[in-house]
Amino acid sequence: MKLLSLQERLGLVSYRNQAKSEIKPHITVETDICNSTCPHKCTTYVCPANCYTMDDQGKVHFQVEDCIECGTCMYACDQGAVSWEFPDPEIGRGVTWNYG
């Protein structure tokens, strides 16, 4: 069986409010902490939806759109950079599982 890329995997996920251009993020990340004192920047590899990325300069960036609400980053970040909530059903992104 062909192994899927993460992008292909995320393509199988149903998100809420997909048509909305403006959504309220349910996770906020102080990337200043990631980019100054964090020794591991682990969110850039432990997030199962790759919401945290690292650019060519080694800077961490975050986008909430692909988030599948698993909670991994909330536990993985031990530097106090991640503030975690659940998405608002009306104006948040969030996930709706078809199988779960």
Contact residues for another protein, defined by CB under 8 A: 1, 3-4, 6, 9-10, 12-13, 16, 40, 42, 45-46, 48-50, 68-72, 74-76, 78, 80, 84-90, 94-100
Which lies closer to another protein via its Cβ, residue 19 or residue 89? 89
Which lies closer to another protein via its Cβ, residue 55 or residue 99? 99
Residue-wise over 34-64: b if at least 16 C-beta within 10 A, else e?
bbeebeebbbbeebebebbeeeeeeebebeb
Which lies closer to another protein via its Cβ, residue 32 or residue 78? 78
**Are 84 and 94 within 8 A, CB to CB?**
no
